[in-house]
Structure 1
Amino acid sequence: WHALSDEILLQHLEYLTSDELKLFKWHLTEGVEAFKKIPEGKLEKAERCTIVTCMTDQYEVDGAAKLTVMILKKMQKNNDAKQLQEKLDMKGKDEFSIHKLFLKPLFKSTYCF
């Protein structure tokens, strides 16, 4: 689930414009509710894949996922937040359903390695 969750988070960050990504990073550096701030220096020049890594290192997978949903809502990206939440809710579903729902769209994405 960890690798799949990272890919899901990355996929949702890839939908953000550069200005939206700056705002997303701002929320991470300012802190959101009970989530500890990520130091600005870690995110200043970070690309999407690095942001996902920072988030999962800081908050673990489930925390990073919940935080992403919260930030998307704060950014008025309610449809994206809803879609991400639905994918995260599939966590307990069978493997076939998860791969069908998540992996097919991921092949269209560009990844950072």
Structure 2
Amino acid sequence: MATFKLLKILEGLELKELKEFQWHLCQGADSFEAIPRGRMERLDRQDTVDLMVRKWPENAKAVTLEILRKMDQNGLAERLVVQSREGATAAVASSSSPPSVSSAAPPSTHVTNTAQNGAMIINPTFSGSSIGGGVSITINHAPPPPAKP
């Protein structure tokens, strides 16, 4: 995850929210070790991101995501997830070799998503792909309860 992308996410926080974010960094969690409070004093967004990337080079994005969700900053959390997907797609596209023609069948992919109680599912969008074979989508919707007389 590029430092720049994390910085852009933290720029979505107001100053009070940034302080809360930094407070969470000082508290730690099961998934990450706390940063000593003295190291967080007077840090701006850029310095906060730099400190996180130095401390957790492979997990700074995951730590950011966890804290944003704890803070109910779900819009920023979703932006981070989307940016990560876009970055992963771009990395795969730039490192892929030209496709080869093969008579073998493409691998099968099965995805199951479930939502309950009015929850919303946001599925990934695929572009630049072709589907060789069938696609089935099943939507089960429970009928509303009968009206009371």
Q: Which residue of 2 aligns with 1:12?
A: 9
Q: Which residue of 1 aligns with 2:54?
A: 57
Instruction: Please give the residue correspondences for 1:1-113 in structure 2 after superposition, counting only pairs within 5 Å.
Output: 5-60=2-57, 62-94=58-90
Q: If each structure's helix is expressed as a fraction of its own residues, which one has the higher value?
A: 1
Q: Which residue of 2 aligns with 1:100?
A: none
Letter in 2 for 1:8: K
Deviations 1:55-83 (A, max 9, x none): 001111x3000110111100001111011
* TM-score, normalised by the number of residues in structure 2: 0.58
* TM-score, normalised by the number of residues in structure 1: 0.75
Larger RCO (CA under 8 A, 6+ residues apart):
1
Question: Unpaired segments of 5 or more residues in structure 1?
Answer: 98-113
Runs of 4+ in 1 over 3 A off after TM superposition: none
Count matched residues: 92
Structure 2 CA distance for aligned equivalents of residues 33 and 46 of structure 1: 24
CA RMSD of aligned residues (A): 1.6
Percent sequence identity over aligned pairs: 33
